[in-house]
Structure 1
Amino acid sequence: MSVRTRPKIFLIDDHPIVRSGLESEIKASGDYEYCGSASSIKEGTKMMGFAGPDLLICDVSLQDENGIKELDSIRKKFPEMKIVFLTMHRDWSYLQDAISAGADGYILKSDSMESIMASIKKVLNRGKVFPGEIANFSYDEKHIREVAEIVKKLTKRESQILNFLSKGKLNREIAEELKLSVRTVEAHRASIFKKLEVDNMVELTRILVQLKSLDPN
């Protein structure tokens, strides 16, 4: 009878405390095998060649590297490995980039350890983990091309505000940037939502992700 092997997890983060905390949780769970960690993607790639991880948990902003920008090269070296980003970045633009690049998950460091471990389990069970379950949207190219035309017809001010919203800016922050009242920003935001037929930021982000997939440049 064959012995069932535990999934191997590797960590890349330039904060020793983060690596230590995750290492402890992974080992304590008993469900996974901790197979190593590194402070950089360059170092980690060399080590993973020997460790053979099933899942990589990687920070986005490392000292001299961007995890999302390096994802494609990591995939080429380890095509079967799941890749999850664990980050402090709440910006929608980072999230969009991670999804467009083909990440299996995007988890915030501010999440509870219980939530992080639950997310790891879901990814290893072939699921996707993104805030707001954004990964579960359906892609309709005809529809998204129609949406792209609507976006082109937004007013100059609406386009500015949509750009700020895509970066995770709050109404108050946008108002300060554009020297407008919060009420005015709210009115423009409501107009954008109405034109794009969305009700909240999660739905708007789905639209933005699909638009980026349509034209990654």
Structure 2
Amino acid sequence: MPVRTRPKIFLIDDHPIVRSGLESEIKSSGEFEHCGSASSIKEGLKAMTFAGPDLLICDVSLQDENGIKELDSLKKKFPDLKIVFLTMHRDWSYLQDAISAGADGYLLKSDSMESIMASIRKILNRGKVFPGEITNFSYDSDWIKKVGEVIQKLTKREAEILHFLSKGRLNREIASELNVSIRTVEAHRASIFKKLEVENVVELTRILVQLESSEKP
């Protein structure tokens, strides 16, 4: 009877302390095998060819690289590799880019190690993990088209606020940027949510990501 092998995990992060902490947790889990680490994607690509990982945990902002922008080249070289970003960035624009690029997960370094390990298990079991449980964001194409038409009909001010919301800006930041009161921003935000039939920024992000994907050739 063949021995069941443990899933192999490779790490790319330019912070030695972060790598060391993850390596230790992976090794002590007994569930996974730590098959290598690197401080850059360029270095990691060479090592992964021989390591044969099942899952890559990669930072977004590396010293001279952007993990999300390199995701396509990683997928081309390792088509079956699960790719998870572990980052400090809470910006919704980074999250949207990661989802659109085909990442399997987007985890925050502020998450507990227990939560990170649970997410890894889920991803290795063919799940996806994103903040706010943005996992199933596929909508009917006709409905997406209708949403696009609604967005085109937003007022100029609503369109401006929608743009800032899509970048993860807070109400007070939008108010300062547009030189209006927070109450004004809140009123326009409520109007946008009502027109798009969403209840929060998580749902709004799902829609905007799907809309952006549908517009790509």
What is the TM-score with the length of structure 2 in the denominator?
Answer: 0.98
Query: How far apart are 1:139 and its partner, in Å?
Result: 2.1
* Structure 1 residue matching 2:134: 3-state secondary structure: helix
Q: Report the Cα distance in structure 2 between the residues aligned to 1:83 and 1:112, rounded to whole angstroms.
A: 19
Q: Report the Cα distance in structure 2 between the residues aligned to 1:109 and 1:83, rounded to whole angstroms.
A: 16
Preserved CA contact (<8 Å) 1:100 1:209? yes
* Structure 2 residue matching 1:49: 3-state secondary structure: helix
Which residue identity lines up with residue 197 of structure 1 in the other structure?
E
Preserved CA contact (<8 Å) 1:91 1:166? no
Q: How does 1:4-153 map to 2 (within 5 A)?
A: 4-153=4-153
Q: Report the Cα distance in structure 2 between the residues aligned to 1:123 and 1:73, rounded to whole angstroms.
A: 20
Query: How far apart are 1:215 and its partner, in Å?
Result: 1.7
* Structure 2 residue matching 1:136: 3-state secondary structure: coil
Q: How does 1:193-204 map to 2 (within 5 A)?
A: 193-204=193-204
Which residue identity lines up with residue 165 of structure 2 in the other structure?
L
Q: For each residue in 1:151-209, what CA deviation from the matched residue of structure 2 results, as whole angstroms up to 9, or x when unmatched? A: 11111111111111111111011111111100000001001101111011111111111
Query: How far apart are 1:58 and its partner, in Å?
Result: 0.5
Preserved CA contact (<8 Å) 1:9 1:57? yes
Query: How far apart are 1:66 and its partner, in Å?
Result: 0.8
Which residue identity lines up with residue 63 of structure 2 in the other structure?
Q
Deviation beyond 2 Å, 4+ runs, structure 1:
none
Q: Report the Cα distance in structure 2 between the residues aligned to 1:175 and 1:37, rounded to whole angstroms.
A: 43
Preserved CA contact (<8 Å) 2:137 2:210? no
* Structure 2 residue matching 1:60: 3-state secondary structure: coil
Number of residue pairs aligned between Structure 1 and Structure 2: 217
Q: Which runs of 5+ in 1 are unaligned?
A: none
Q: For each residue in 1:78-123, what CA deviation from the matched residue of structure 2 results, as whole angstroms up to 9, or x when unmatched? A: 0011000101111111111111111100001110110000000100
* Aligned residue number for residue 159 of structure 1: 159
Which residue identity lines up with residue 91 of structure 1 in the other structure?
D
Query: How far apart are 1:137 and its partner, in Å?
Result: 2.6
Q: Report the Cα distance in structure 1 between the residues aligned to 2:214 and 2:79, rounded to whole angstroms.
A: 23
Q: Which runs of 5+ in 2 are unaligned?
A: none
Q: Report the Cα distance in structure 1 between the residues aligned to 2:160 and 2:95, rounded to whole angstroms.
A: 19
Instruction: Give RMSD over aligned pairs.
Output: 1.0
Which residue identity lines up with residue 65 of structure 2 in the other structure?
E
Q: Report the Cα distance in structure 2 between the residues aligned to 1:216 and 1:167, rounded to whole angstroms.
A: 19
Q: Report the Cα distance in structure 2 between the residues aligned to 1:128 and 1:179, rounded to whole angstroms.
A: 39
* Aligned residue number for residue 174 of structure 1: 174
